[in-house]
Amino acid sequence: MTRTLTTLLAVATLIAASCSTTSTPEPAPDPPGEFPVTIDAANGPVTIPERPTKIVSLSPTATESLFAISAGDQVAAVDDQSSYPAEAPVTSLSGLEPNIEAIAALDADLVVMMFDVGGSTVAALAEVGIPSLVQPAAVDLDDAYAQIEMLGAATGNLAEAASVVASMQGAIDRIVADTEASGETYYHELDPLLYSATSQTFTGEMYGLLGLVNIADDADPDGFGYPQLSAEHIVAENPDLVFLADTKCCGESAKSISERPGWETMSAVQTGAIVELDDDVASRWGPRVVEFLSAIAEALGALVDA
């Protein structure tokens, strides 16, 4: 699949712990809770008869969230794009082309996915007795929090999910309180074809929390959210900061950016304000959005202090 298609599918969907000499005990997991439970998902009300123990995740964001809320031991398999955490049971399953037979062979009792592919995947799973939750790309932080809490309810890990959300909210509040922007502009690159994300997207909201100004906003007259910019537009806008979310997929770097024709005149290139992001962290809306926001704040702080 080309990077362009992957980008469009992904966007239609987007803290290191301090060292200590003593260990803090992990919180005890929730008891199984009351089942059956009915979840109000994007695909409508979904009834889960028993606490699931063989979950299949076809969404990298859901995979990260499931492990964060201590439901990792309930996950039987994840899709081929679920690169985090390391212990996730990665398979050849695809979230873009779900294999119903392969999922059924795993004796799955819950499937979590970003899309109801073809408008028929949910129904096909239901026919073989497998409930599914569709969790599309979050539109804002509240949506991201709600999806984590939904997974907590669906897996019997309500307290853990609430704890993860509270931790995220606290960390984000601290980063925002400690960071000041004064009109700095930025360009967020999704791929080498110069697709970007406007302030109306989840990705753009992260930058907006810190007061940064998005140069892609005036290049998206249709409000799509993910316009393809021209090199001329980017150079003319001369952003103070450039964030690359195509380092892993496409090998882009501060060096490769500086070698693009005309880009050597840009302020961000001249000051070294080019940030090489982790593609996965920058494109998902689970617990690691804190890490993404922290990277933005660190880059902004370095620019302001320079």
Q: Are residues 98 and 161 in the same domain?
A: yes
Q: Give the pLDDT confidence of 291-305 residue by residue, as tens digits.
A: 999 999 999 999 877
**Of 169, 202, 225, which closes a domain?**
169
Query: Can you tell me the mean pLDDT for 152-157?
Result: 98
Judgement on whether residues 156 and 69 belong to the same structural domain of the protein: yes
Task: Point out which residues pair with 111 in neighbouring strands.
Answer: 56, 132
- The verdict on residue 20 lying in a domain is no
Provide the pLDDT for residue 306: 67
Tell whether 158 and 257 lie within a shared domain.
no
Where do the DSSP E strands lie in the chain? 37-41, 44-48, 55-57, 75-78, 110-113, 132-134, 185-189, 213-214, 241-244, 274-276
Are 137 and 209 members of one domain? no
Q: Are residues 44 and 161 in the same domain?
A: yes
What mean pLDDT, rounded, does the chain reach? 91
| Sign of the dihedral through C-alpha 160, 162, 164, 170 | negative
Average pLDDT over residues 173-202: 96
In this prediction, residue 1 has a pLDDT band, given cuts at 50, 70 and 90, of very low
HEC string for 211-272? CCEECCHHHCCCCCCCCECCHHHHHHHCCCEEEECCHHHHCCCHHHHHCCCCHHHCHHHHHC
pTM here is 0.88
Residue 99 located in a structural domain = yes
Is 3 among the domain residues? Answer: no
Residue 78 pLDDT level (bands cut at 50, 70, 90): very high
The residue segments making up the domain with residue 59 are: 32-169
> Is 37 inside a domain boundary?
yes
Same domain, 130 and 184: no
The count of domains in the chain is 2
Contacts of 224 (CB under 8 A, 6+ apart): none
- pLDDT at position 254 is 97
Does one domain contain both 195 and 145? no
